[in-house]
Structure 1
Amino acid sequence: MSYDDFRRVDRHDPSTRRIASAQHYSPVLIVLTVLATAGILVYAVFLLNPANRGDLLPWLMVVSAETVLVVHALLAMWTVLSGTRDPRDYRYFTAQSLLFDAREAAGRGVRHQAHRWPLRLNGERVTVEVFVTAYGEPVETVRRTLRAALDLRGEHRTWLLDDGRSDEMRALAAELGCRYLRRLNNHGAKAGNVNHALTIATGDYFCIFDADFVPQPDFLEHTLPFFVDETVAFVQTPQTYGNLHNMISRGAGYMQTVFYKYVQPGRSHFNAAFCVGTNVVFRRTAVHEIGGIHADSKSEDVWTSLRLHERGWRSVYLAKTLAVGDAPDTVEAYTKQQLRWATGGFEIMIKANPLSPRRSLTPDQRIMYGITATHYLTGIAPGILLLVPPMEVFFDLHPVDLTVGLWQWLLVYAGFYVMQILLAFCTLGSFRWEVLMLAAVSFPIYLRALVNAVLGREQQWHVTGATTRASSPFNFMIPQVLMFVFLLLTAAVGVWQNWTHSTVTLGTAWNLTNTFVLGAFVVVAWREAHRVRRGLPVATRRAAAPTHPTVAPAPVAHPSVIPLALAPTPQSAAVALAEETAANLVTRTGHSLTVRGPAVVEPSTAGHPRVPTPRRRGGAHR
């Protein structure tokens, strides 16, 4: 048997199988995390030692920038090491095994129509709304998400919330058989869109998916069981990207990998995991208690999470890919996404201040939200560090005392950066230079975001995915280009000085490295601009919808403490296909709906739309 024959046994490449089967927290990873933490501490002591201080100005620049990086690195290591506990317990698996009401499904004749299976939690029927938010995305992008949303296992109603007020979207909703809502204005952006829908939809729980995130059919059966705990307000799952086909999308995607794989589980341990706006399920009564999704910020997801945690609600993060979406794959898309995120983060730092005694948070939550609010300062720090080598080349100003040996400095510096690179290598499977590139060149975006937050400037919302008209990437990276030209000039001067004096200085070597990184970004932008000029598509591949059987298996009729093992027989598949075809002629959104096709509802006039409380079937809220 050949190697290819072995690969076809389970249709997995050995490398992908190793990643899938690897433990998130292996002993090697824990040891590397501890060593990286030690390296960070040693480097911090070295920098702050007065005996090692060089000229005041460059030393202050290095210390201020590196302090931000060191503090955040230490807190990140602590968070990562805290997230080793699986949030799924005995109650979760019991609830999962009883989630689908097999007896009622058989009685209603929907045994083989997975999207109409009745749902139960704590012995009571529950209803679920699925919101797909759209604002100018391509129709085909929304189509694949709506199709996947309609096919979710478990009875639910799917809604297309169209803030782009597109007749094409209305026609798409009618074609697929989902509910359609639009507003007369875009007040509150995405949060206002969801709040408007909550004045009409009445489900006990509601899911939110961005238009480019395609959910897997088992999304509900993995998330709803957490709500047997009456204190859980929402369950968040990762953002996983399926379009990592160019430098920008790979860099943007892998930048999020460590956060979703290691940091969010740690935050969940401290009950501080926050909503990221998509791939999430909310308990309606929890959102009703805080007056709806927070609509006064472009980071409505983090603000909503903060307000829920202040009210004593719990959040759960499940580190399992249940939806696949699109990472930004152009300079324009990446810039606008990061600007929106960073502006929201700085708004929290300025307006909410998680460390304030007025905030009703636990000490752990204060620290976690403090990290969130100041995270984008780590993106400004590289911009400060880029200016240090030119100060040595042009003004002979050094951040470190010249009596400190080169090898001593390199050894301490390696303890800080090399260990973090090794840690990234273990978590991502390789060292992603695209991440390094984007981290080094994003400082103008975060500086602008900080100014926006301080001055209270309104930041317009933009679609992350493809747009109808491509723009030159150089329209969005003028500061980076100017910095590259300046560093290139500095490199030429530094090399000439070294050649003249027959020596190699650390400042010149450092500057050459920075020039190479910014130059790589300029080359990436030039290639993108070349495609734009030629009228070629910048994004050649989009994320694919998760593959799954056309016919889902029937629910089991007996209880089990383990997740459902649903396996259809060939006979049931044939019957199910016939039933599904007949059902599609009537409705695709569940027996409780009487209208197929679009329903246009005018917006509420209040700042925060009234969120009707669903009828409770049993005891008090908590």
Structure 2
Amino acid sequence: MDDYFRRFENRRPPEPLPYSAAREMLWQALATITALVGGWYVWWRWTESLNPDAMWFAVPLVVAETCAYVGLLLFIFNLWKDQPVTVPTPVASLHQTVAPGSNDLTAPDRPLVIDLFFATYNEDPELVRLGVRDAKRITYPHPIDIRIHVCDDGRRPEMRQVCTEEGVNYITRATNEGFKAGNLRHAMEQTSGDFIVILDADTRPFPTILEHTLGYFRDPKMAWVQTPQWFYDLPEGVTLTARLSQKLGAAGRVLGRSVEGIFGEIRIGKDPFVNDAEMFYQVILRRRNWANASFCCGAGSIHRREAVMEAALRSFAASVEKRVIAAEEEITLTSREPMVDPSLMSAIRTEAVVAEVLAPYRFHVSEDIYTSILLHSDRERGWKSVLHPTYESRMLSPQDLLSWSVQRFKYAGGALDILVHDNPLFRRGLTLAQRLMYAMTFWSNLAPLWNVVFLVAPIIYLATGIAPVSAYTLPFFLHAIAFLVALELSMMVGTWGIAGYASKSSYLAFFPLGLQAIAAVAAGRKISFPVTPKDRQVGNHLRLVRPQIALVLLTLAALAWGVGALIWADTGHSITGVVTNALWGVNNCLAMSGIIRAARWKPEPELTGDRDS
């Protein structure tokens, strides 16, 4: 096992972002202004700025801007409200987690039974052992029955041996049907805990994970609690001073200290793959709590068994009925009979029951969000969810671009597959707020379609002198600058406490993988269930960023051509047009540079600090 992460054992997770009512009011005011100014800009673009002589260029760009504006509105809705950070008082027994009048209240009260599932397939058993040992250190202020299970889809004797040595339960099965979702379903069939904690092979739970989360289940409608995932092995990079000192000696050390003395600490190689999930958990998912729309993200989540099983039964019944109706329609169309014989219908229903799979966790590459949609749409029970903002576990991050690509493609493809085949936006039972929150998730995965237009647009102008707007004149800059300033101010306040540039750059640079995921789903190809590698994949991964490299080279070549044409040729280029598109193109290149550097990144143990967070 590559145990590089052992030197980061002393790292501690950051505290949750603090809540500020005053900052939230300022954010809402700025967001409202941004939405209005953005609408004004988009309207002006459609009605007054299109270049009539280049509609082939003008229309795709304004469509891309409109799509991005729709995404902005959804993002504003997502971030609209936050809540103070609180930790609920732990429940003491089963009766405190059930509704008045429940059958469970007629039975004697007892301590809660918790099943901890470590889902594993081909990960190193010694890595799983670390998580199991941490799970054995979980504490709780009341009597509780914690049962640890390793759910091994790899059927490995060495994994069974680890379980025997650690005194925990080993669960395996004969096939890998349904992959992780099937693994979890099989584990549920072998266990009976009141609540289930889902952990990946590399998840290391903190002792407080149950003490800080089970209190939410005092609400009998609380179906699951998601905790933030914290990657404790993220590279911290090296300071500019250390890097220059290594390259230039004493002169470099002086130069580095001088620069950092002016601009503050500058780190090179920090989180090269932008794995830090703080923006997602502390801002995006956490702000969905008010709408009861925070979805499950798998590892680090705690589930009420009753909710998962009940949702599965409802889905099972609906799927059986769908099969029966389809069969009945086919028979009546074929036989031209108005009705189907009751005995035949009974046989059809029996066959449908046998053919359908009762799956607490849907057999899907994105089983976590699929199950979330299923539970949120159960209006009769009104199941709830919450993102608990405090970090309660630690995990390993992808440490190379290949692993990162596998993970991101799986996420994007899984979400888009749900959008196409079981669109939650039209699912009965979801509230309007929940639909909009899920819409934001799916819309963001379609963004590569218009992001690629934003990336190519400055190249076209600089190379040809053909503008997508009627002219780069004062009205254009007034509309564009007003919108961009309002946007930057509102996003700075709305995501206060988290640096946003790296996330925005990664969002743009993701376009080749995003387009591949869109193409795969559109072509009807099944999104596979690859396990994200937990060890560093050795090698140079520049082949994975060929599209980004090509984009940078084309942008720089077009920039050189555009400047040359402006000076020496009459090609229709204007000074304002070249400057505007040059700045746009340079920004695109900077966004691509991060992932290109990541493809060549290698750990530098001799320089990387081991600072406690």
Shorter-chain TM-score range: 0.7 to 0.9
Q: Secondary structure at the match of 2:555?
A: helix
Of 262, 280, 284, which aligns to 1:263?
284
Flag the 1:539–1:416 CA change in 2: closer, same or farther, 3 A.
farther
Matched, 1:215 2:215: no
Letter in 2 for 1:378: A
Flag the 1:85–1:434 CA change in 2: closer, same or farther, 3 A.
closer
Any unmatched runs of 5+ in structure 1?
A: 1-11, 102-120, 547-622
**Contact persistence 1:132–1:161 (CA under 8 A):** yes
**Contact persistence 1:441–1:480 (CA under 8 A):** yes
Letter in 1 for 2:575: T
Matched, 1:53 2:50: yes
Rounded Cα–Cα distance in structure 2 between residues aligned with 1:208 and 1:400 = 52
Flag the 1:316–1:433 CA change in 2: closer, same or farther, 3 A.
closer
Matched, 1:355 2:425: yes
Matched, 1:401 2:470: yes
**Contact persistence 2:26–2:493 (CA under 8 A):** no
2:128 is matched with 142
Point out which structure has higher relative CO (alpha carbons under 8 A, 6+ apart).
1
Letter in 2 for 1:262: V
2:367 is matched with 300
Rounded Cα–Cα distance in structure 2 between residues aligned with 1:156 and 1:257 = 29
Letter in 2 for 1:174: T
2:92 is matched with 98
How many angstroms does 1:301 deviate by? 0.4
**Contact persistence 1:393–1:490 (CA under 8 A):** yes
More moved, 169-178 vs 214-223: 169-178
Rounded Cα–Cα distance in structure 1 between residues aligned with 2:525 and 2:516 = 10
1:339 is matched with 409
List per-residue Cα deviations over 1:132-178 (Å, max 9, x = no partner). Answer: 11122234432221111122124211011122333332222222221
Q: Within 5 Å, which residues of 2 pair with 1:177-188?
A: 177-188=167-178
| Count of matched residue positions in the alignment of Structure 1 and Structure 2 | 497
2:516 is matched with 448
How many angstroms does 1:315 deviate by? 1.6
How many angstroms does 1:299 deviate by? 0.6
Q: Secondary structure at the match of 2:497?
A: helix
**Contact persistence 1:243–1:542 (CA under 8 A):** no
Rounded Cα–Cα distance in structure 1 between residues aligned with 2:177 and 2:609 = 33
**Contact persistence 2:115–2:195 (CA under 8 A):** yes
**Contact persistence 1:326–1:543 (CA under 8 A):** no
Rounded Cα–Cα distance in structure 1 between residues aligned with 2:401 and 2:487 = 27
**Contact persistence 1:491–1:515 (CA under 8 A):** no
Q: Secondary structure at the match of 1:366?
A: helix
Rounded Cα–Cα distance in structure 2 between residues aligned with 1:322 and 1:52 = 52
1:240 is matched with 230
Letter in 2 for 1:84: Q
TM-score (norm 1): 0.72
List per-residue Cα deviations over 1:262-311 (Å, max 9, x = no partner). Answer: 22233222222111011111111221121433333201001101111222
1:507 is matched with 581
Matched, 1:372 2:441: yes
How many angstroms does 1:372 deviate by? 2.1
Flag the 1:272–1:433 CA change in 2: closer, same or farther, 3 A.
closer
Q: Within 5 Å, which residues of 2 pair with 1:376-455?
A: 376-402=445-471, 404-405=473-474, 407-419=477-489, 422-423=492-493, 426-428=496-498, 431-455=499-523
Q: Secondary structure at the match of 2:364?
A: coil
2:334 is matched with none
How many angstroms does 1:42 deviate by? 0.9
TM-score (norm 2): 0.73
Letter in 1 for 2:192: T
1:314 is matched with 384
Q: Percent identity?
A: 26
Rounded Cα–Cα distance in structure 1 between residues aligned with 2:559 and 2:453 = 17
**Contact persistence 2:545–2:595 (CA under 8 A):** no
Matched, 1:477 2:545: yes
Rounded Cα–Cα distance in structure 2 between residues aligned with 1:21 and 1:271 = 19
How many angstroms does 1:251 deviate by? 4.9
Rounded Cα–Cα distance in structure 2 between residues aligned with 1:333 and 1:454 = 24
Flag the 1:498–1:214 CA change in 2: closer, same or farther, 3 A.
farther
- Let me know the Cα RMSD of the aligned residues: 3.4
**Contact persistence 1:271–1:314 (CA under 8 A):** yes
How many angstroms does 1:98 deviate by? 3.0
How many angstroms does 1:510 deviate by? 1.5
Q: Within 5 Å, which residues of 2 pair with 1:542-557?
A: none
Rounded Cα–Cα distance in structure 2 between residues aligned with 1:527 and 1:139 = 27
Letter in 2 for 1:238: P
**Contact persistence 1:298–1:344 (CA under 8 A):** yes
How many angstroms does 1:346 deviate by? 0.7
Rounded Cα–Cα distance in structure 1 between residues aligned with 2:607 and 2:494 = 27
Flag the 1:344–1:355 CA change in 2: closer, same or farther, 3 A.
same
